[in-house]
Amino acid sequence: MNAEFTLATPDTAIGRQFADQGYYLAKGVFSAAEVAELEADFDRIVAQLLGSGENLNARWGGPEMEKLGAANTQVLHTHNVQRFSAVWTRALLHEGFLSVARDILGPDIVLHHSKLFQKPGELGAPFPMHQDWGYFPTLLDTMMAGIIHVSRATDEMGCLRVYPGSHKRGRIENSMGQSEGELLEKYPIEGALPLEAEPGDVAFFHYFTIHGSMPNRSNQTRKTVLVQMHAGNDMVEPGNLHPDERLVLSGWNHMASRSLANQMKS
Residues 220-263 have pLDDT tens digits of: 999 999 999 999 999 999 999 999 999 999 999 999 999 888 87
Domain assignment present for 49? yes
Domain assignment present for 4? no
Distance separating alpha carbons of residues 80 and 258, to the nearest angstrom: 23
Domain assignment present for 64? yes
Helix (H) or strand (E) holding 146: strand 144-149
Count of domains observed in the chain: 1
Task: Decide: helix, strand or coil at residue 23.
Answer: strand
Percent of the chain residues topping a pLDDT of 90: 85
Q: What string of DSSP letters covers 197-230?
A: B-TT-EEEEETTS-EEE--B-SSS-EEEEEEEEE
Is a pLDDT exceeding 50 seen at residue 266?
Answer: no
Domain assignment present for 14? no
Residues 27-67 have pLDDT tens digits of 999 999 999 999 999 999 999 999 999 988 988 888 888 88
Domain assignment present for 7? no
Percent of the chain residues topping a pLDDT of 70: 98
Domain assignment present for 1? no
Contact present, 211 and 111 (Cβ < 8 Å): no
List the CATH number of the domain containing 247: 2.60.120.620
Model confidence, pTM: 0.96
Residues 100-159 have pLDDT tens digits of 999 999 999 999 999 999 999 988 999 999 999 999 999 999 999 999 999 999 999 999
Mean pLDDT, residues 4-18 taken together:
96
Domain assignment present for 10? no
What is the span of the domain harbouring residue 247?
A: 21-262
Burial of 219 (0-12, 13-18, 19+ CB in 10 A): exposed
Task: Report CA 171 to chain centroid distance, whole Å.
Answer: 17
Domain assignment present for 199? yes
